[in-house]
């Protein structure tokens, strides 16, 4: 059986599981019924965080050899966060290719493993929203503001949350 058909079957199962048993904090579904490899995700800003009340849309794109390789996740909603590149791509350890980190920042155990599911990925992103990692930022400006100008950071995030609500 080809890797892409195995990936397709696994993604169909994960979609079915999420449809039957929705998880608090996000919703997920296919962008288009023609492809199980492109998902649309809406993440609710986690309660008691700066992102509380926001609704953030993202695209998850799965490779044909999923789950051996991680998907990419990109916010399509505006996002201001140290671990989100200015173009919306999410940068967290579990989305990095498996194995040793060529830069030496992450342990292999922190990187992608085939046991991850759509649910565990999105829950990791929700956790990232709750507690940014400014040690190895994707958005250096946001990380610097998070560290040095917390009130300015909070103000930008409040604006991002407001805009996400207006897009509903």
Catalytic residues: 91
What are phi and psi for residue 31, nearest 5 degrees?
Answer: -65, -40
Burial 55-65 (b: 16+ CB within 10 A, else e): bbbbbbebeee
User: How far apart are the C-alpha atoms of 145 and 113, rounded to whole Å?
Assistant: 32
Structural element, H or E, at residue 41: strand 35-44
DSSP, collapsed to helix, strand or coil, labels residue 163 as helix
Sign of the C-alpha dihedral, residues 147, 47, 113, 57?
negative
CA distances for 66 relative to 3, 13, 45, 120, angstroms:
8, 13, 27, 14
């Amino acid at each position: 059986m080809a890797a892409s058909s195995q990936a397709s079957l696994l993604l169909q199962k994960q979609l079915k599981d999420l449809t039957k048993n929705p998880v608090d904090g996000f919703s997920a579904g296919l962008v288009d019924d023609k492809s199980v490899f492109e998902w649309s995700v809406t993440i609710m800003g986690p309660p008691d965080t700066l992102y509380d009340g926001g609704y953030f849309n993202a695209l998850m794109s799965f490779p044909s050899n999923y789950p051996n390789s991680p998907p990419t996740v990109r916010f399509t909603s505006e996002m201001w966060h140290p671990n989100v590149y200015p173009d919306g791509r999410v940068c967290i350890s579990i989305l990095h290719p498996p194995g040793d980190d060529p830069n030496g920042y992450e342990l292999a155990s922190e990187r992608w493993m085939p046991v991850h599911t759509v649910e565990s990925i999105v829950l990791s992103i929700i956790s990232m929203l709750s507690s940014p990692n400014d040690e190895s930022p994707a958005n250096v400006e946001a990380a610097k503001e998070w560290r040095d100008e917390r009130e300015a950071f909070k103000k930008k995030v409040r604006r991002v949350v407001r805009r996400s609500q207006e897009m509903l």
